[in-house]
């Protein structure tokens, strides 16, 4: 693993120090890693949303669609491992 050294301005350093104490990170490295992971996730979500927005329209989604989706998820869960009965959402 390579090392990156950064020198943030005092205002950002104060922010990171506050995040460390509020979020329970042992060091500022943990806080910065969390921020980077969140930014990666945000960029991935943005890309997926843009891809979806530029795709062809699909059939309208209604209550029947969600009922079918819920049934498929429950069936997949039941076939993969034994579980106690779950009420429908």
User: Which tokens hold the place of 66?
Assistant: 């969600």
Q: pLDDT tens digits for 44-86?
A: 999 999 999 999 988 888 999 999 999 999 998 887 765 555 5
Distance from C-alpha of 88 to C-alpha of 51, rounded to nearest angstrom: 32
Nearest CA among 30, 24, 32, 25 for reference residue 7: 32
Q: pLDDT tens digits for 1-56?
A: 788 888 999 999 999 999 888 888 888 988 888 999 999 999 999 999 999 999 99
């Amino acid at each position: 693993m390579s090392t990156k050294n950064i020198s943030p301005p005092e205002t950002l350093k104060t922010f990171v120090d506050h995040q460390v104490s509020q979020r329970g990170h042992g060091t500022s490295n943990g806080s910065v890693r969390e921020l980077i992971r969140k930014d990666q996730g945000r960029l991935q979500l943005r890309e997926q949303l843009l891809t979806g927005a530029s795709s062809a329209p699909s059939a309208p989604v209604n209550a029947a669609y969600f009922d079918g989706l819920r049934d498929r998820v429950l069936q997949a869960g039941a076939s993969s491992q034994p579980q106690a009965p779950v009420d429908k959402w």
